[in-house]
């Protein structure tokens, strides 16, 4: 909020009832700002200053039971995890202040229409504010993040208002979020009830909600739920692409200061034999069917080739403990096969439907290394897969290239970490599309796996997949800034 300035701002006030001098340096491009204070009215050169980095501030808002000059600063502090990959990296903190710099209030006070209080006080049967902790997402941090950050944060926010309640859910299986959506969120949405959902998970949680909301017809009174993500998955593409991860609060600042924005979706339709792989690919499940075709909706990515293969191969308990590094570990194994051969060339017919066109146009190549359609800009922090994409712009973009050596493919995709420079390579196809169709020409089932937002779907021999943009408009909102 507001504009940046390099001019520091100071004022006099109080912290926890003690007189202090404030000093506020706003964030500038590429630099983090700071809120600082020192005890006393006239600091000396030897005065010790206390600081909170602006990227650690969740919000600043009036202390409702105090005077007009009293404000609470909600922020996070870094935690010493001692190498525990399941420990929360941050903890919730508060600071009781008087007369903080006006610019701090301007920058961090939630706007009324977006305030978390409004979403927590929605009318309807029981509580319509839900918190879902995905216990198996990423490296398993969600439970401790709930304890160290989200629970004390929500308890603080709702402390003086018994009308503000939230209902807790901990996942116990891969289907917990889908089951909850089917039994609670969808019926209430169809009854016209406003609902807010806080997800401590990766992208898969949002996708489970979206797919289940689309699994049954909607009434005329359908009220789309809003979802806030605290990114605790592996790649966290949606959060990284929509600005949720722009600070160090793990999405808490967006939760309280953000506002609802429609989530764009695509629909992937498959030949009849396609099956969802679960339990580390040891089991198959049928997909939702529409007009006799299996379908799956996504908000992030649909891929075939190297990306889908590495997501599938690294989706094990062993790999997940390494977080986002699991993708790079699996990529090295795919790009440099142990027998010394070149990476597998994926065979199939690729066709695209371009915007404002009704004709499928084939890509003049039958062998492929990388085929990826996406609605987002980043697949993980720093991995700028689609530099033309803007937050929640609803545009589906295709990136693809043909077979090459492991060294060439690794060098090419490494440039995605250099602000998306990989799309400048003439070997890479990159364009906005309305649809994508793949007709698979592979005997081995391993090469017929596709990835839809982290879910792995295996298509039968001789089968096909067709992706079209624009599905599910008005289905669900994401809380974003």
Rg (the chain; Cα; Å): 24
Taking a C-beta distance cutoff of 8 angstroms, is the pair 73, 44 a contact?
no
Q: Is residue 47 part of a domain?
A: yes
Kindly report the length of the chain.
481
SS3 171: coil
User: In angstroms, rounded to a whole number, what is the distance separating the alpha carbons of residues 381 and 240?
Assistant: 6
- Nearest 5 degrees, angle CA 318-CA 151-CA 315? 15
Q: Say whether both 464 and 400 belong to one domain.
A: yes
CATH number at residue 172: 3.40.50.10330
Write down the pTM of the prediction: 0.90
Average the pLDDT over 78-89 and give the result: 94
Residues 302 and 328 in one domain: yes
pLDDT of residue 440: 99
pLDDT given at position 5: 43
Q: Which of 49, 82, 108 represents a domain boundary (last residue)? A: 108
Query: Alpha-carbon distance 349 to 365, whole Å?
Result: 7
Q: 3-class DSSP state for residue 177?
A: helix
Indicate whether 1 belongs to any domain: no
Domain around 78: 9-108
Please check whether residues 99 and 122 belong to one and the same domain.
Answer: no
Q: What is the CATH number of the domain that holds 92?
A: 2.30.29
Q: How confident is the model at residue 327 (pLDDT cuts 50, 70, 90)?
A: confident
pLDDT tops 80 at residue 331: no
Please check whether residue 4 lies inside any domain of the structure.
no
276 shares its domain with 412 = yes
The reply to whether 259 and 273 lie within a common domain is: no
Q: Could you give the 3-state DSSP secondary structure of residue 367?
A: strand
Dump pLDDT digits (tens) for 285-307. 999 998 889 999 999 999 999 99
Answer yes or no: is 251 within a domain: yes
Return d(Cα 307, Cα 316) in angstroms, integer: 16
Please report which confidence band the pLDDT of residue 309 belongs to, taking 50, 70 and 90 as the band edges. very high
Q: What is the Cα–Cα distance from 138 to 424, expressed in whole angstroms?
A: 32
Q: Tell whether 388 and 434 lie within a shared domain.
A: yes
Q: What is the pLDDT of residues 371-420, one digit of tens each?
A: 999 999 999 999 999 999 999 999 999 999 999 999 999 999 999 999 99
Q: Are residues 19 and 80 both part of a single domain?
A: yes
323 has a pLDDT exceeding 90: no
Residue 332 and residue 399 in contact, taking contact as beta carbons nearer than 8 Å: no
pLDDT number for residue 165: 76
Number of domains present in the structure of the chain? 3
Kindly state whether residues 313 and 459 are assigned to the same domain.
yes
Residue 130 lies in a domain: yes
In a domain, 203, yes or no: yes
Q: What is the largest CA-CA distance in the chain?
A: 79
Same domain for 129 and 155? yes
Residues 449-468: tens digit of each pLDDT: 999 998 999 999 999 999 99
234 and 92 housed in the same domain = no
* Residue 40: per-residue pLDDT: 85
| Mean pLDDT, residues 218-232 | 97
Check whether residue 153 and residue 226 sit in a common domain.
Answer: yes
- Tell me the pLDDT of the chain averaged across its residues: 91
3 within domain boundaries: no
CATH of the domain at 374: 2.60.200.40
- Please indicate, yes or no, whether residues 157 and 16 belong to a single structural domain of this protein: no
**pLDDT band for position 8 (50/70/90)?**
low
Number of Cβ within 10 Å of residue 469's Cβ equals 21
């Amino acid at each position: 909020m507001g504009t940046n300035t390099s001019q520091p701002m100071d004022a006099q006030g109080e912290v926890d009832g003690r007189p202090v001098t404030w000093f506020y340096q706003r964030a500038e491009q590429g630099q983090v700002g700071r809120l600082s204070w020192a005890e006393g009215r006239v600091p000396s050169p030897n005065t010790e200053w206390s600081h909170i980095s602006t990227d650690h501030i969740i919000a600043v808002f009036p202390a409702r039971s105090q005077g007009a000059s009293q404000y609470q600063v909600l922020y996070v502090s870094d935690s010493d995890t001692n190498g525990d990959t399941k420990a929360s990296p941050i903890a919730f903190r508060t600071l009781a202040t008087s007369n903080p710099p006006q610019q701090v209030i301007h920058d961090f006070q939630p706007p009324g229409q977006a305030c978390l209080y409004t979403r927590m006080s929605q009318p309807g049967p029981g509580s319509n504010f839900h918190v879902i902790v995905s216990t198996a997402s990423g490296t398993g941090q969600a439970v401790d993040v709930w304890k160290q950050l989200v629970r004390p944060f929500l308890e603080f926010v709702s402390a003086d208002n018994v009308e503000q309640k939230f209902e807790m859910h901990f996942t116990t299986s891969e289907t917990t979020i889908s089951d909850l959506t089917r039994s609670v969120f969808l019926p209430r949405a169809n009854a016209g009830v406003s609902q807010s959902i806080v997800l401590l998970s990766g992208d898969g949680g949002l996708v489970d909600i979206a797919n289940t909301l689309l699994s049954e017809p909607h009434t005329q009174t359908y009220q789309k739920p809003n979802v806030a993500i605290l990114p605790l998955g592996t790649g966290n593409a949606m959060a990284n692409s929509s600005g949720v991860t722009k600070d160090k609060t793990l999405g808490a600042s967006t939760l309280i200061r953000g506002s609802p924005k429609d989530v764009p979706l695509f629909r992937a339709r498959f030949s009849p034999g396609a099956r969802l792989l679960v339990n580390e690919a040891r089991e198959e499940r049928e997909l939702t069917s529409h007009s006799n075709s299996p379908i799956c909706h996504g908000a992030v990515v649909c891929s075939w080739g190297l990306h889908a293969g590495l997501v599938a191969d690294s989706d094990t308990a062993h790999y997940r403990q390494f977080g986002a590094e699991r993708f790079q570990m699996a990529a090295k194994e795919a790009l440099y096969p142990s027998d010394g051969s070149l990476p597998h060339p994926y065979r199939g017919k690729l066709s695209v439907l371009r915007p404002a066109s009704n004709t499928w146009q084939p890509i003049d190549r039958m062998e492929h290394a990388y085929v990826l359609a996406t609605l987002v800009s980043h697949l993980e922090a720093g991995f700028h897969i689609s530099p033309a994409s803007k937050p929640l712009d609803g545009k589906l973009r295709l990136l693809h290239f043909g077979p090459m050596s492991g060294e060439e493919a690794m060098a090419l995709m490494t440039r995605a970490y250099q602000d998306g420079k990989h799309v400048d390579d003439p070997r890479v196809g990159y364009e906005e599309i309305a649809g994508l169709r793949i007709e698979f020409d592979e005997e081995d089932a391993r090469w017929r796996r596709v990835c839809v937002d982290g879910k792995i779907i295996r298509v039968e021999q001789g089968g096909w997949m067709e992706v079209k943009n624009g599905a599910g408009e008005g289905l669900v909102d994401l809380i974003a800034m």
